[in-house]
Structure 1
Amino acid sequence: MRADAESLDIGDVTANWVNAEVLRSELDLRIKSLADLVDTPLFFGRLDYLHDLDAEGEHGHRFYIGRRHVHDAHGDPMVIDWRAPVSQPYYQATKQNPRDVGLRRRFGYDGGELTAYEDEHLSDPTEVETSSRLLQREIERPRVGPMRDIVATIQPEQDEIVRAPLTGSVCVQGAPGTGKTAVGLHRVAYLLYAYRERLARAGTLVIGPNRSFLRYIEQVLPALGELEVKQATVDELVAHVEVRGADGATAARLKGDARMAEVLRRAVRAGVRMPAEPLMVVRGSRRWRVPAHELSELVQELLDRDIRYGAAREALPQRIAHSVLVRMEQAGEAPDDRTQNAVARTPAVKAVVKECWPAVEPAKLVLRLLSDADFLAEMAEGILSEEERKEILWDRPARSVKSARWSPADAVLIDEARDLVERTGSLGHVVLDEAQDLSPMQYRAVGRRCSTGSVTILGDIAQGTTPWATESWAAALAHLGKPEAVVEELTQGFRVPRTVISYASRLLPAIAPELSEATSVRDSPGSFEVRAVSPAELDDALVTACRAALAREGSVGLITADARVPVLSAALVAADLAHLAPGQETSRGARLTLVPASLAKGLEYDYVVLDDPAAVVDGEPDERTGLRRLYVALTRAVSGLTVVHAAPLPGLLAAAG
């Protein structure tokens, strides 16, 4: 197929060089998408239907299921794309509902080489239904390098979310190891298959918590044949100014509060003034007068409509010009649209617009709001208390936008102000991962990017580790502007071993008592150990645990409190253990990653060594946030977890021994 694409001669098939360039770029993209992935097999399953699908043949159809569509030299299909409707029974068919499937075959691979297969006779009532050993082996396969797709192991409840229609928004509450991130990425791939033309025009975007996380997941979609999906963090979406500062927890929480949207709305419109003088427009030898009260009515009408500030500012000169044209017509003249546009551009009308509806620069507006105590007090009256206003007011007012030490929360405020002035463009579909950590104002910023499209929200309330982390999905969806989104809960874990998830779940009563405890389908319990040492032995014990983990196959993550990263990095170097930072796994230069607890979310490793849980908890501003951070760290393991501690364990972990 790739050779056929490369051999195409498009030299004489286009009308001009522009069309030729467009066609060439599309052909290059096609060739790129057909690149061989040596370790990725073309097919992973087979379906044997009992009856012919078009009801014309005597025998059932047989389909091989793979990551992409593959046809032979005659154009006949050899492998069916996993997203095609005919492939869905591979994920959904059961003994109780075989969907006309007689046999489902799973293929097992090792490094791209076919090594095993396994059959299920779904229409045979005498065959006993058992769990798939190949499925179990695929889940437990060592993880080295970036995140990989789960297209061969998607479960029925995951498949229903993946194939949900584009028209609806979906919120996935998923416990650790339930595959919510993979579900979100595969949903993007499915939507691009089912609604390709619409999303090609509107665009898609995957939003992650940080760049390390995005680098970890960046190979999933290309492996599924989708090369054009953009990825970004929320901070990158709102990067209208250079962020060089940071807020304290209280100030950041207040700036992220949804009440700030109303404060900004007032501030944007604070400069609107009613005209005190009538307007005089000169056209040729005649003068046309519009009284001040009529101008005021036009301004008030635009204020009452509450349309975006910039759109109203563009509409005002046309409204004023229309009033002049009415007077011209009453005097017997016959003006047209060109006359109205000319009147709208006259210096007199421009002067009125400048006086009544001045231009607003969002960054300068937010600068004034955070620097001018009197202006902030006026705009936040009845919304923020005096103590709250003092908390967000800058100690040292900046002189200009460039010299200001903007914080991430300030950048979100500027983005809100920009949208109040001019509408933010909307994409066709957005996937928002680790959504529980966003502030209301950040939710609003994401919601603006999919205001006319749909969104897939992925997260876990129990893993919220910011001071402003959401306490309910209903509130989050309201801030996103998607209150109608369907909330799905995934509680069946596939990644985290049963003993590990059970140990971590001891924290749930303190961090998210309303959530169900996650279960694990893993037959193998995984290796699990809690080791107490003295403070003097701690670093050496961690190095020893890392060596033991590296003796096995797979990736190893040493997770520690952020403040301990330099100390442990030096200890690993001294012990001659090469290690990476989060997001560098794609380099494949080493199997050990030193992970600050603040960056552990969303990552996974075959073996995790956790350094001193008490230090992880103490590294956060409050105990609940610290316990949530610890819950995240405990649930990154796929095959084994070793907890090494010198300080006493947090009470909930120590209580049961």
Structure 2
Amino acid sequence: MTSPDPGLDPGLDPLPVPEDPADLPRDSPLRDSLLEERAHHDACRAALAAMRADAGLQVVTGEDVSASGADAEVLGHRLRSRAEALRELPDGPLFFGRLDFDEEAGGEHAGLTHHIGRVRIGEHPAVPPLVVDWRAPVSRAFYRASARDPQGVAVRRRFGWAPGSRGDSADLTGLEDEHLGRGESRWSDLVAREIERPRVGPMRDIAATIQPEQDDLVRGEPSASVCVQGAPGTGKTAVGLHRAAYLLYTHPQRIRRGGLLVLGPHRTFLSYIAEVLPSLGETGVRQSTLADEIARHPVTGTDPAPAAAVKHDARMAQVLRRAVYGRVDAAAADDLTVTDGSSRLRITGAEIAGIVTDVLAEEPPYDVGRERVRSRIARRLQARAERCGGPRPASWLRRAERSRPVGACLDAVWPGTRPEEVVAALLGDPAELARAADGLLAPGEREALRWVRPPRSHRSARWSAADLVLLDEVAGLLARPQGYGHVVVDEAQDLSPMECRAIARRVPFGSLTVLGDLAQGTTPWAARSWRVQLAHLGKPDASVVPLTTGFRVPGAVLALANRLLPRLGTDVPPARSLRRDGLLRVRRADGDLTAAVVSAVRDALTHEGSVGVVTADADTARVHHALTTAGLAPDPRLSVVPATRVKGLEYDHVVAVEPAAVAAAEPRGLNRLYVVLTRAVSRLDVVHARGLPWEE
């Protein structure tokens, strides 16, 4: 958020007003404006209902359209997608802002008024819309215009709606005007209240409150990859989701053709953000975790920490490449003889070895290379046959490619394989591992990788989460996976180099929006440099843009968390907050820590909003039991969350239990504690019996 300009205009009263505007004085400009805007909202609701009905009718009509199969399928998909988007648009206010353009400013919008909302609403395509989509070019002035640069805007109006409104026009209870054309500006109380509003339920969109620095990121070019280094509360996740919605709106064919993927750290996080894109009119976007994207098998095994660390190391990519292409053996080529009628067609082993060597030099995916060898052997046979008996039809070539002699030769020099066979052989055979890892992994690292009790075959293997990353790497060596047009990756600082490679394979020609905070890196392999991480993601030239101004986390909470930064081993600037409200309390438990936690939670539940009790993982069950015994749980506003599952979430009130236990629970425990402290968006209670890590 930017500071207000020196000249401030109070505009219209931004505070809540009586539900019935008739209760206002008859000479109040707010009374007339509210009545006018409520009437406009009623017209918008009627138009939206007509749009939904029309979209459904178009789907029914489109099913009977006379066209080719492909054309009908494309048309049907578009009509169904539009109908679904309108049908799934959540109930709520249909606009949040208005732009009145100066008549003398010139341009196509001079003298016009545009209401700004989450989706376009119009009575007919040929007439100006009742509501302009926030992503439309004209809407950018709503976020960018200022008294110093009004961009042709005479008045910017913001609307205040009752919290939790489902779109009833009577819920429009406040207005603010900024007369930018007169060089006057104001700090928006409505925006401040929306940002600070208690968080209950899933994440909300921020279309009404996007700030200029966020807008620059949202409206970036589709072909450009960008990394957002966002301090807590700066809205980096919301920026990434709104960028996805913007790209789908401005480049629908380009993005939808390849598909758009949103990757979150875990399913709880995906549930939290699930309603944001539908609220912006975008449905059908795949939201997933990387674990789900690469899940060839259920995770039934676990790795000791040393084994997991090696499996996630970037060097494993080369180890696996050796393991895959080490199966190719040009020296195994023998002379090949194929019978063609009364003729015997012969290719020498040296010729076959030359074909294999040439294909290897081309560095194709393994399965592609295998088929190239097959094809070139068959064509060599075809040339022999044609010298003896003239041209051969295409069917002859296909039979030659699939003949038993050619298949046996191919299996000898370039055998077919599966990812599971490669990884099982690597981890189960010390000789195979030594060959593939020679010069790359130390003996101790190879020993950590080796399965102590190898399964009888890959079919009975118990795969760990890290094994699935290896399997995905091998699958990518065998055949290129289908790519996406754009991928949004949240909490990207926690990805290992091998996990980054799995994502890179899915956007070979697309773009990335990378979101994260190096200070919040908690995995053993968490990134310490965005440049290194972006290289692993296949986008080394992506721009890195910092967001350091927090809008959600109170200043006192950020100041406490910033005391940990010098000990986190990352070059991250301290975050600052524009919020001076909020409450921070540090409670020392004299004797019974659990009783102190129960007391803190009881106090927290007297306030409005959600309450998150965050503990070291080992203490979660005990604390939950204590709150249940005290009659405080279950409560829809209360969540008891282990520290390892709180990343990406936020609560109005956080009770952080025993910070020293959180910090001591894992190698990057201080980073984990930094995450825990910054989940609070209104109040933070720190309850402890041991010493506080930031005071050591």
Other-structure match for 1:582: none
Go from structure 1 to structure 2 and tell me whether the alpha carbon gap of 1:12 and 1:493 turns closer, same or farther (over 3 Å shift): closer
Q: Secondary structure at the match of 1:78?
A: coil
Which of residues 138, 141, 166 is equivalent to 1:86?
Answer: 138
Q: Contact 1:205/1:430 (CA < 8 Å) preserved in 2? A: yes
Q: Contact 1:53/1:61 (CA < 8 Å) preserved in 2? A: no
Q: Secondary structure at the match of 1:476?
A: helix
Other-structure match for 1:289: 346
Amino acid at match of 2:645: L
Amino acid at match of 1:78: L
Amino acid at match of 1:315: R
Amino acid at match of 2:490: D
Which of residues 630, 635, 638 is equivalent to 2:673?
Answer: 630
Q: How does 1:298-337 map to 2 (within 5 A)?
A: 298-331=355-388, 333-337=390-394
Alpha-carbon separation, structure 2, partners of 1:304 and 1:409: 31
Q: Is 1:40 equivalent to 2:92 in the alignment? A: yes
Moved more, 333-342 or 178-187: 333-342
Instruction: Please give the TM-score of this superposition, normalised by the length of structure 1.
Output: 0.93
Moved more, 89-98 or 171-180: 89-98
Moved more, 554-563 or 338-347: 338-347
Alpha-carbon separation, structure 2, partners of 1:236 and 1:91: 37
Go from structure 1 to structure 2 and tell me whether the alpha carbon gap of 1:4 and 1:322 turns closer, same or farther (over 3 Å shift): closer
Give 1:497 deviation, angstroms: 0.2
Q: How does 1:171-190 map to 2 (within 5 A)?
A: 171-190=227-246
Which of residues 394, 399, 409 is equivalent to 2:456?
Answer: 399
Alpha-carbon separation, structure 2, partners of 1:250 and 1:573: 38
Which of residues 185, 190, 195 is equivalent to 1:134?
Answer: 190
Q: How does 1:240-389 map to 2 (within 5 A)?
A: 240-274=296-330, 275-331=332-388, 333-389=390-446
Which of residues 150, 153, 159 is equivalent to 2:209?
Answer: 153
Q: Is 1:452 equivalent to 2:504 in the alignment? A: no
Amino acid at match of 2:252: R
Q: Which digits, 9 at most, give the CA deviation of each residue in 1:501-533, with x for residues without a partner?
A: 0110000001145211111111x3311100101
Q: Contact 1:185/1:220 (CA < 8 Å) preserved in 2? A: yes
Alpha-carbon separation, structure 2, partners of 1:106 and 1:615: 46
Give 1:413 deviation, angstroms: 0.1
Give 1:341 deviation, angstroms: 2.5
Amino acid at match of 2:150: P
Q: Is 1:566 equivalent to 2:612 in the alignment? A: no
Q: Secondary structure at the match of 2:307?
A: helix
Which of residues 274, 277, 282 is equivalent to 1:226?
Answer: 282
Go from structure 1 to structure 2 and tell me whether the alpha carbon gap of 1:276 and 1:3 turns closer, same or farther (over 3 Å shift): closer
Alpha-carbon separation, structure 1, partners of 2:384 and 2:687: 85
Q: Contact 2:583/2:682 (CA < 8 Å) preserved in 1? A: yes
Go from structure 1 to structure 2 and tell me whether the alpha carbon gap of 1:255 and 1:476 turns closer, same or farther (over 3 Å shift): same
Moved more, 269-278 or 484-493: 269-278
Which of residues 563, 566, 578 is equivalent to 1:509?
Answer: 566
Moved more, 264-273 or 464-473: 264-273
Other-structure match for 1:3: 53
Go from structure 1 to structure 2 and tell me whether the alpha carbon gap of 1:399 and 1:302 turns closer, same or farther (over 3 Å shift): same
Other-structure match for 2:182: 124
Q: Contact 2:301/2:462 (CA < 8 Å) preserved in 1? A: yes
Q: Contact 1:189/1:226 (CA < 8 Å) preserved in 2? A: yes
Go from structure 1 to structure 2 and tell me whether the alpha carbon gap of 1:38 and 1:173 turns closer, same or farther (over 3 Å shift): closer
Amino acid at match of 2:54: D
Q: Is 1:421 equivalent to 2:478 in the alignment? A: yes
Give 1:146 deviation, angstroms: 0.5
Amino acid at match of 2:135: R
Give 1:318 deviation, angstroms: 1.0
Structure 2 residue runs of 5 or longer lacking an equivalent are: 1-50, 166-170
Give 1:75 deviation, angstroms: 5.2
Alpha-carbon separation, structure 2, partners of 1:513 and 1:317: 52
Other-structure match for 1:590: 636
Go from structure 1 to structure 2 and tell me whether the alpha carbon gap of 1:74 and 1:336 turns closer, same or farther (over 3 Å shift): closer
Alpha-carbon separation, structure 2, partners of 1:423 and 1:4: 42
Q: Is 1:98 equivalent to 2:150 in the alignment? A: yes
Q: Which digits, 9 at most, give the CA deviation of each residue in 1:233-257, with x for residues without a partner?
A: 1111110122112222222111001
Q: Is 1:617 equivalent to 2:675 in the alignment? A: no
Alpha-carbon separation, structure 2, partners of 1:272 and 1:446: 27
Other-structure match for 1:601: 647
Other-structure match for 1:67: 118
Which of residues 110, 114, 117 is equivalent to 2:172?
Answer: 114
Alpha-carbon separation, structure 2, partners of 1:445 and 1:458: 17
Q: Secondary structure at the match of 1:4?
A: helix
Give 1:277 deviation, angstroms: 2.1
Q: Contact 1:171/1:457 (CA < 8 Å) preserved in 2? A: yes
Q: Secondary structure at the match of 1:123?
A: helix
Go from structure 1 to structure 2 and tell me whether the alpha carbon gap of 1:131 and 1:12 turns closer, same or farther (over 3 Å shift): closer
Go from structure 1 to structure 2 and tell me whether the alpha carbon gap of 1:189 and 1:37 turns closer, same or farther (over 3 Å shift): closer
Q: Contact 2:56/2:83 (CA < 8 Å) preserved in 1? A: yes
Q: Is 1:212 equivalent to 2:263 in the alignment? A: no
Alpha-carbon separation, structure 2, partners of 1:212 and 1:480: 24
Q: Contact 2:100/2:155 (CA < 8 Å) preserved in 1? A: yes
Q: Contact 1:10/1:20 (CA < 8 Å) preserved in 2? A: no
Q: Secondary structure at the match of 2:116?
A: strand
Give 1:204 deviation, angstroms: 0.6
Go from structure 1 to structure 2 and tell me whether the alpha carbon gap of 1:69 and 1:53 turns closer, same or farther (over 3 Å shift): farther
Q: Is 1:525 equivalent to 2:575 in the alignment? A: no
Q: Which digits, 9 at most, give the CA deviation of each residue in 1:547-587, with x for residues without a partner?
A: 111111111111111101110111111011124xxxxxxxx
Go from structure 1 to structure 2 and tell me whether the alpha carbon gap of 1:434 and 1:513 turns closer, same or farther (over 3 Å shift): closer
Alpha-carbon separation, structure 2, partners of 1:53 and 1:427: 42
The structure with higher relative contact order (CA 8 Å, sep 6+) is: 1
Amino acid at match of 2:174: A
Go from structure 1 to structure 2 and tell me whether the alpha carbon gap of 1:295 and 1:528 turns closer, same or farther (over 3 Å shift): same
Which of residues 598, 607, 616 is equivalent to 1:552?
Answer: 607
Give 1:401 deviation, angstroms: 2.8
The share of aligned pairs that are identical, in percent, is 50
Q: Which digits, 9 at most, give the CA deviation of each residue in 1:343-369, with x for residues without a partner?
A: 222221111101111111111210111
Q: Contact 1:565/1:594 (CA < 8 Å) preserved in 2? A: yes
Go from structure 1 to structure 2 and tell me whether the alpha carbon gap of 1:291 and 1:484 turns closer, same or farther (over 3 Å shift): same
Q: Contact 1:494/1:520 (CA < 8 Å) preserved in 2? A: yes
Q: Contact 1:180/1:459 (CA < 8 Å) preserved in 2? A: yes
Moved more, 271-280 or 302-311: 271-280
Go from structure 1 to structure 2 and tell me whether the alpha carbon gap of 1:320 and 1:177 turns closer, same or farther (over 3 Å shift): same
Q: Which digits, 9 at most, give the CA deviation of each residue in 1:218-237, with x for residues without a partner?
A: 01001111111011111111
Q: Which digits, 9 at most, give the CA deviation of each residue in 1:418-455, with x for residues without a partner?
A: 11111111010000000000100000001111111111
Go from structure 1 to structure 2 and tell me whether the alpha carbon gap of 1:493 and 1:372 turns closer, same or farther (over 3 Å shift): same
Structure 1 residue runs of 5 or longer lacking an equivalent are: 580-588
Q: Secondary structure at the match of 1:253?
A: helix
Amino acid at match of 1:15: S
Other-structure match for 1:585: none
Alpha-carbon separation, structure 1, partners of 2:407 and 2:522: 51
Q: Secondary structure at the match of 1:70?
A: coil
Q: Secondary structure at the match of 2:592?
A: helix
Say what the alpha-carbon RMSD is for the aligned residues.
2.0
Instruction: Please give the TM-score of this superposition, normalised by the length of structure 2.
Output: 0.88
Moved more, 591-600 or 330-339: 330-339
